[in-house]
Amino acid sequence: MSVRFQKELTNAAEFIESRLNGFLPASNTSLMADPMRHAVMGGGKRLRAFLVLESANLFDINPEQAAYSAAAIECIHAYSLVHDDLPCMDDDDLRRGKPTVHVKWDEATAVLAGDGLQTLAFDILARTPAAMNDAVRVQLISSLAIASGRMVLGQSQDIAAETARVPLGLEAIVELQSNKTGALIEWSACAGAVLACQDMTALSAYAKALGLAFQIQDDILDIEGDVADTGKRLQKDTEAGKATFVSILGLDGAKQKARSLVEQACDVLSIYATKAESLRDAAQFVIERNK
């Protein structure tokens, strides 16, 4: 990862965390304030927010206007992680190097914290500045609702795969992960085009390839990663006997597939020339990251 890209990612994370701080309920002002803040603040790569900001930059959208969409997607992502960590799902004790919400508080609080973050996301989008017309707000809200539904479908497909008599094949895994992981990444990368009322074909193709590459790297890290780096429990899929990109393609095959997807993602951005350089760097980042 280049020094320039690392700085851009860090700056984007700091920018979005400052905006999230203003959108979230202040600490100790309600029963849910601290659990919600624990879930969404002070950790994570903020890759989805970065994609929102950079896709908006392609069309010269003011970062302050794009910040609403970037904060909203981080709330949705955090809600999904809180629920994913529950004992009825993946039963994880660690997330982003911190105790998961149900461990620090309890299961009921974790469910409600996730619910709170989900509803907050749509409230944030509804407050997108007046410079954006109502049709844009409606499209952002509607498309995020659809993407969130796809994510839920992907999670249900993932749970069903644990008890399937026959392990999933490659095509089924691609569909599952395109929903579970890819849907929110695609929404993030297309948000700038929505804000600018521009065609999103290229950004959608970029995001589809990026989302799969991201998941393949997750599968690789589940085998090769270090808990100290990832901040979460590893080798869960292996222990559960679930089919993954690595189990089907092998470690080297999975790495090769991820590299191919990154090349594909970068190629479709050619219409944006050098203005999309940071998005190309983001594609490279997803297969170089160690967490």
pLDDT tens figures, 214-256: 999 999 998 887 766 555 566 666 666 678 999 899 999 999 9
Domain that holds residue 187: 3-288
Contacts of 78 (CB under 8 A, 6+ apart): 39, 40, 44, 114, 117
Indicate the DSSP class of residue 25: P
Helix intervals (H) in 85-200: 101-104, 107-126, 134-162, 170-180, 182-195
Instruction: State the Cα–Cα distance between residues 79 and 123, nearest whole angstrom.
Output: 14
For residue 63, the domain's CATH number is: 1.10.600.10
Domain count, the chain: 1
Inform me whether the pLDDT recorded for 62 exceeds 60: yes
Contact (CB, 8 A) for 72 and 48:
no
- Give the pLDDT confidence score for residue 232 in this predicted structure: 58
Indicate the DSSP class of residue 98: E
> Strand pairing partners for 95?
98
Arithmetic mean of pLDDT over the chain: 92
CA 5 from chain centre, in angstroms, equals 18
Using alpha carbons only, what angle is made at residue 177 by residues 174 and 179, rounded to the nearest 5 degrees? 110
DSSP-based three-state secondary structure for 198: coil
Helix (H) or strand (E) holding 80: helix 63-84
| R_g (Cα) of the chain, nearest Å | 18
CA distances from 111 to 86, 88, 137, 159, 180 (A): 8, 11, 27, 18, 19
> Strand pairing partners for 98?
95
Least confident of 116-120, 203-207, 222-226, 280-284: 222-226
- Give the pLDDT confidence score for residue 150 in this predicted structure: 98
What is the phi/psi pair of residue 105, to 5°? -115, -100
pLDDT tens figures, 4-48: 999 999 999 999 999 999 999 999 888 999 999 999 997 889 999
> Stretch 57-72: mean pLDDT, rounded?
96
Contact (CB, 8 A) for 184 and 69:
no
CA distances from 133 to 64, 188, 273 (A): 15, 19, 28
pLDDT tens figures, 131-153: 568 999 999 999 999 999 999 99
